[in-house]
């Protein structure tokens, strides 16, 4: 029996996009889960953004108001010190990178790793 699997593994290295890591949960962010978070909310004049999972981003905004973000939680470090955030991070870290709590895609019919053109 010939082993042909090695060739398949070799082709894995091709065209791998540079992975982006979420500073909140430290998992890779898939393209379709990527959100830009304003460290200081736009409404407060903030311009700097960080890439986060959509689920992590939603969580930040459900825990903090724009006023709180602008005043006290304008860095990832500050956000990570919050107990509610830590609880969420501990939970989400155990999920696969593409995990989403919305049931929009209830079945993973297409698990291809290709990027949308």
Among 30, 33, 37, 79, which residue sits at the site for Zn ion (rule: CB under 5 A)?
37
Smallest Cα–Cα separation from 22: which of 47, 67, 59?
59
What's the min distance (Å) between Cβ of 31 and Zn ion?
A: 14
Q: Which residue bears the tokens 């696969």? A: 96
* Inter-axis angle of helices 83-92 and 54-63, nearest 10: 160
Which of these ranges, 11-19, 30-38, 70-78, 99-107, lies near Zn ion under the rule CB under 5 A?
30-38
Q: Residues 49 to 78: which contact Zn ion by CB under 5 A?
A: 53, 56
Beta-bridge partners for 34: 53
Residues forming contacts to Zn ion in the complex (CB under 5 A) are 22, 24-25, 37, 53, 56
């Amino acid at each position: 029996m010939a082993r042909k699997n090695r060739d398949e593994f070799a082709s894995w290295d091709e065209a791998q996009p540079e992975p982006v890591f979420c500073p909140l949960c430290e998992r890779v962010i898939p393209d379709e889960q990527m959100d830009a978070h304003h460290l200081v909310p736009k409404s407060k004049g903030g311009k700097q953004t960080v890439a986060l999972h959509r689920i992590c981003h939603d969580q930040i905004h459900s825990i903090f108001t724009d006023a709180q973000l602008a005043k006290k939680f304008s860095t990832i470090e500050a956000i990570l010190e919050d107990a509610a955030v830590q609880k969420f991070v501990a939970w989400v870290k155990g999920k696969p990178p593409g995990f989403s709590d919305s049931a929009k895609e209830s079945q993973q019919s297409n698990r291809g790793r290709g990027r949308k053109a």
